[in-house]
Amino acid sequence: MGDDRRRIHCRVSGRVQGVWFRASTQREAQALGISGWVRNLLGGGVELSAQGSREAVGRLEQWLRRGPPRAHVERVDVSDEALAPQGLGFDILF
């Protein structure tokens, strides 16, 4: 049996700063039981790392392609990463 967890690293571009993207991502991740972090990037994008069950991470990935109501997501680049020790919570980094 394989591990049912997945860890992803994402870069989201478009109008994703100043529209509550990080806080909305945190809320969505917490609701799905995902640990990780999200932060703004210089140049206007958002970056995040997320780990949880494959199903939950897949649902977060789908949500990222829409984002919160005021966002306009143009692109989401996703790469898989090696699993890390399960962290607690989902943080907004500054």
Q: Tens digits of per-residue pLDDT, 24-56?
A: 999 999 999 999 999 999 999 999 999 999 999
How far apart are the C-alpha atoms of 71 and 67, rounded to whole Å?
A: 6
Q: Which residue has the higher pLDDT, 92 or 2?
A: 92
Residue 94: inside a domain, yes or no?
no
- Average pLDDT over the chain, rounded to whole? 95
Known catalytic membership, residue 40: yes
Domain enclosing residue 29, as ranges: 16-84
15 near 71, Cβ under 8 Å?
yes
Instruction: Tally the domains of the chain.
Output: 1
Residue 74: inside a domain, yes or no?
yes
Q: Considering the candidates 39, 40, 66, 75, report the single residue annotated as catalytic.
A: 40
Tokens of 43: 């140049």
Return the sign of the alpha-carbon dihedral for residues 78, 84, 85, 91.
negative
CATH no. for residue 37? 3.30.70.100
What per-residue confidence (pLDDT) applies to 1? 45
Residue 47: inside a domain, yes or no?
yes
Q: Considering the candidates 5, 22, 70, 75, report the single residue annotated as catalytic.
A: 22
32: nearest Cα among 54, 1, 9: 54
Known catalytic membership, residue 27: no
